[in-house]
Structure 1
Amino acid sequence: MPVHARAQTPAAEAARVVADVLHDLAATGHRGVVVDSPPGAGKSTLVVRAAAELADAGEPLMIVAQTNEQVDDLIARLGAAAPEVRVGRLSAVDYSPSERVRAHPACRVGAKVADLDGPAITIGTAAKWATVTDGTWAWAIVDEAYQMRSDALLRVAPRFARALFVGDPGQLDPFATVEVDRWTGLSWDPLQSAVAVLLRHNPDLPVHRLPVSWRLPASAAPVVAEAFYPFTGFRSGTGPTERALAFARPAATALDPVLDTAAATGWGLYELPGRFTVRTDAEAAAACAALAARALTRDAVTTAESGTAPLTPERVAIGAAHRDQVAAIRAALPPEAAGVTVDTANRLQGREYDLTVVLHPLSGRRDATAFHLESGRLCVLTSRHRHACVLVARAGIAELLDAHPHTEPVHLGVPVKFPDGWEANQAMLAHLAAVTVPAPGG
């Protein structure tokens, strides 16, 4: 990051980049603008602001999100930022509006564009937009554009003239449930992200990078940046003393040392005895559930820019790589942790909590597959927190990585992704070595 940028306050630095983005939106010399956003950098805030400004200018606008959750979240944000702007929510015929959508004072829901009565902003998922065959819009905003497959972009591209693409390049890549080897190396490979294909065919489009994470604390931003964003980087919007997690009740169980370590440093690794296990490791699942519950029963309190507040179950999340692991963790949650969110990395994208507990994707495995090594998966899991992150893993991950060096085939015409999962995992392990607490018997 340039020295002059470091001399600015985080707010001033972020405001400068946002101003540059909005300036490029107003320019007419290009058909699109790309904005890269690290975790918690205000991506949704930028989308809402850009949408409001384009709507104020009288430009017909469509917004493309990737999930219904993202659509409803953007509608709620638009309602708070610009309640007077009329919004149309494209949805399935059987869609039941969520409370957030119903709360918007000027939002209309419909299964067809004609049902929405010409709103200033029309918003829907990429899958829903793919069914729209009539109408064009001067502008489109594509949210979470790095999680959108290029073939999905191709299906909606005829609907707009110019577009703003906003997303996080360090998180999960698009995926498919069918074999896609036949397209590997082609410039229009459908499994590439929408942004990757866009920039390969339009290399002169302006690309901006949001420089500040307002979610990650000062203890986490440099760790996540080094592991998953080694060439662009970012910094925390808060200083080392502006966030704190404290426990009112003293340590009294074997789980407390790792919780205290995480409260003091922002990170903790609860290391179970090393052994190979089935994917749904009952001991690891139970440890994840117990850690979340113990943090709550110790009457934890968080301190942040907005003040001091108790740690409640709704502000705690447990993340895992697989749905069967999620089911096992949920089943192990005691009553006092009933409100804790438990989900996969795919479904935790874009969400934030005060404390997160993570079942490491490589825990207990005999091999390091491409799925479990994917850097985006670990990035999502370790970048959801505002105060602290505790990882749960069996001993032996470092040896597993050494025994399974990166051996994925290299294909002609396929841009090399940096960092790869092997490097990202090694970087995270190097940091976690200093905050590792062995479980009893470990």
Structure 2
Amino acid sequence: MPTDNPIDGPATRAEAVIKQVMTDMAGSDHRAVVVDSPPGAGKSTLVVRAAGELVAGGERVMIVAQTNNQVDDLIRRLTQAHPGIPLGRLSGSEYQPTSEVSDICTSKLTLKDLSAFRIVVGTSAKWAVVDGDSFGWAILDEAYQMRSDKLLQIVGRFDRGLFVGDPGQLDPFTITESERWTGLPHDPTKNGVGVMLQHNPHTPVHSLPVSWRLPASASPVVQEAFYPLTEFTSGTEEGARSLRFRARSLGATALDETLEMAAATGWAFHELPRRHVPRTDGETIRSAADLATRLLDRGTTGHCEHAPDGRELRAGDIAIGVAHRDQADLVRAALRRSRNPEARSITVDNANRLQGREYEVMVVVHPLSGRRDATSFHLESGRLCVLTSRHRQACIVVGRAGIVDLLDSHPSTEPIHLSVPAKFPDGWQANQVVMGHLTRHRVGA
């Protein structure tokens, strides 16, 4: 059960920080307020609450997200929390709303058509290309994933902003070669929050102190590896969540040993034999698919504060995370070949697309598995952070032996640029911390 008490429980500490945020927003001393949120700390809940309080105070609010899926999710949450506030969705011409979204909000292409709505939600890309009204307040969700050039395009549309995001996850993505701007003050590929804070150093920055997603087995290692400058704890005590299997082990296989390790400790490292392989290595792909399928075959039940009597995990409770899209395609193909038809509904995606989502169990193909070198892409701390922080119950990592040796023989060699602050956490160090933890939960295949 949650470790809550009237004095120093997680809910009390989280509420104290949120009240500080609301106090800063209510005052007139700052044009911006920043809220850093570790995984599952209630970022979207804060966005929804802040929007409601601003509207109650007479403001008209624009909400900026980074993807259409994030916009749709916020609309669902806003409707549930504030059913009396009509919502407008700023949409692109190619966007086709789902029936669920179209039933609860109005989607239009221009701000003029949404002038009657107190809350207007849209992607940063869409906000950057529309003309029309300005707003007293903007709430920018997933703000650390927003490029500074996007922020510059919309910043004139609002007077004050609430920037909410996770500083430990993936940086803004661009397919353009960006070395030409490295170290320059107008580098458009920097995240919007960092640039805003550089120019407004007195902006208040708050950190949400509790992860309601991560179990007690995960929050310490995730905090140490990816948030070394921020302290947060799990919202549940050790043992408050657990996995149990209706069916016994289907034979003395490494797959079942891995599942038993994950159920007992919240972590497992399914280690395949050492070998240099392409990223589309069939054995690694099959192992990830088989582990996820075996969770369904064994009738896995999750017990937690929301389901103390247990709830059987379905395909929607499980996800397989990879670094590359071609890996995801191969995992989906392996799941389609499974004898369990439900396995085909298991979520499979790369880290960029899994960002912001939550599952009971994550199966992760380690980005460095089977590699000869450790490139900056595969060492990116945000990528591993996303993959290892989506779960409420357990995280199972699949990889070949030799990752630790690869890290030891390829220390960080990224060039140091003038006028570029050192990034924390360093990807090489974050990977070392995670592998140091996983080696204690290793099961040899």
**Aligned pairs (5 A) from 1:166-181:** 166-181=164-179
Q: Which amino acid aligns with 2:45?
A: T
Counterpart position of 1:183: 181
Counterpart position of 1:321: 323
Q: Verify the 8 A CA contact 2:321 2:362 in the aligned structure 1.
A: yes
Query: Where do 5+ consecutive residues of structure 2 fail to align?
Result: none
Counterpart position of 1:389: 395
For residues 115 and 93 of structure 1, the distance between their equivalents in structure 2, rounded to whole angstroms, comes to 14
For residues 416 and 12 of structure 2, the distance between their equivalents in structure 1, rounded to whole angstroms, comes to 42
Alignment counterpart, residue 113 of structure 2, candidates 112, 115, 118: 115
What is the root-mean-square deviation of aligned Cα atoms in Å?
1.2
**Aligned pairs (5 A) from 1:62-101:** 62-101=62-101
Q: CA deviation at 1:115?
A: 1.6
Q: CA deviation at 1:94?
A: 3.2
Determine helix, strand or coil for the equivalent of 1:233. coil
Q: CA deviation at 1:182?
A: 1.5
For residues 103 and 283 of structure 1, the distance between their equivalents in structure 2, rounded to whole angstroms, comes to 45
Q: Verify the 8 A CA contact 1:63 1:141 in the aligned structure 2.
A: yes
Calculate percent identity across the aligned residue pairs: 58
For residues 240 and 66 of structure 2, the distance between their equivalents in structure 1, rounded to whole angstroms, comes to 34
Q: Verify the 8 A CA contact 1:73 1:100 in the aligned structure 2.
A: no
Q: Which amino acid aligns with 2:29?
A: G
Q: Which amino acid aligns with 1:181?
A: E
Counterpart position of 1:248: 246
Counterpart position of 2:32: 32
TM-score (ref. length: structure 2): 0.96
Q: Which amino acid aligns with 1:424?
A: A
Determine helix, strand or coil for the equivalent of 2:301. strand
For residues 385 and 336 of structure 1, the distance between their equivalents in structure 2, rounded to whole angstroms, comes to 20
C-alpha change, 1:6 and 1:169, in structure 2 (3 Å) is farther
For residues 178 and 408 of structure 1, the distance between their equivalents in structure 2, rounded to whole angstroms, comes to 19
Q: Which amino acid aligns with 2:370?
A: G
Q: Verify the 8 A CA contact 1:32 1:162 in the aligned structure 2.
A: yes
Q: Verify the 8 A CA contact 2:112 2:133 in the aligned structure 1.
A: no
Q: CA deviation at 1:135?
A: 1.7
Alignment counterpart, residue 375 of structure 1, candidates 381, 402, 406: 381
Q: Verify the 8 A CA contact 1:75 1:100 in the aligned structure 2.
A: no
Determine helix, strand or coil for the equivalent of 1:50. helix
Counterpart position of 2:146: 148
Q: CA deviation at 1:114?
A: 1.3
Counterpart position of 2:423: 417
Q: CA deviation at 1:121?
A: 0.5
Q: Which amino acid aligns with 1:416?
A: A
Q: CA deviation at 1:6?
A: 13
Q: Verify the 8 A CA contact 1:213 1:234 in the aligned structure 2.
A: yes
The C-alpha deviation readout for 1:299-325, integer Å capped at 9, x for no partner, is 000011111210100100000000000
TM-score (ref. length: structure 1): 0.96
The C-alpha deviation readout for 1:353-411, integer Å capped at 9, x for no partner, is 00110000000111100000000000000000000000000000011111111010000
Q: CA deviation at 1:100?
A: 3.4
Q: Verify the 8 A CA contact 1:218 1:238 in the aligned structure 2.
A: yes
For residues 118 and 381 of structure 1, the distance between their equivalents in structure 2, rounded to whole angstroms, comes to 41
Q: Verify the 8 A CA contact 1:297 1:336 in the aligned structure 2.
A: no
For residues 375 and 341 of structure 1, the distance between their equivalents in structure 2, rounded to whole angstroms, comes to 22
Q: Verify the 8 A CA contact 2:110 2:131 in the aligned structure 1.
A: no
Q: CA deviation at 1:7?
A: 6.8
Counterpart position of 1:61: 61
Q: Does 1:405 align with 2:407?
A: no
Q: CA deviation at 1:89?
A: 0.1
**Aligned pairs (5 A) from 1:283-294:** 283-294=283-294
Q: Does 1:218 align with 2:216?
A: yes
For residues 265 and 200 of structure 2, the distance between their equivalents in structure 1, rounded to whole angstroms, comes to 43
Q: Which amino acid aligns with 1:313?
A: A
Counterpart position of 1:339: 345
Q: Verify the 8 A CA contact 1:33 1:163 in the aligned structure 2.
A: yes
For residues 385 and 323 of structure 1, the distance between their equivalents in structure 2, rounded to whole angstroms, comes to 21
Counterpart position of 1:364: 370
Q: Verify the 8 A CA contact 1:187 1:200 in the aligned structure 2.
A: no
For residues 281 and 156 of structure 2, the distance between their equivalents in structure 1, rounded to whole angstroms, comes to 47
Determine helix, strand or coil for the equivalent of 1:338. helix
The C-alpha deviation readout for 1:97-147, integer Å capped at 9, x for no partner, is 22331342xx21101111224200011000000111222100000000000
Q: Does 1:297 align with 2:303?
A: no
Query: Where do 5+ consecutive residues of structure 1 fail to align?
Result: none
Runs of 4+ in structure 1 off by over 6 angstroms are none
Counterpart position of 1:207: 205
Q: CA deviation at 1:341?
A: 0.1
For residues 374 and 381 of structure 1, the distance between their equivalents in structure 2, rounded to whole angstroms, comes to 11
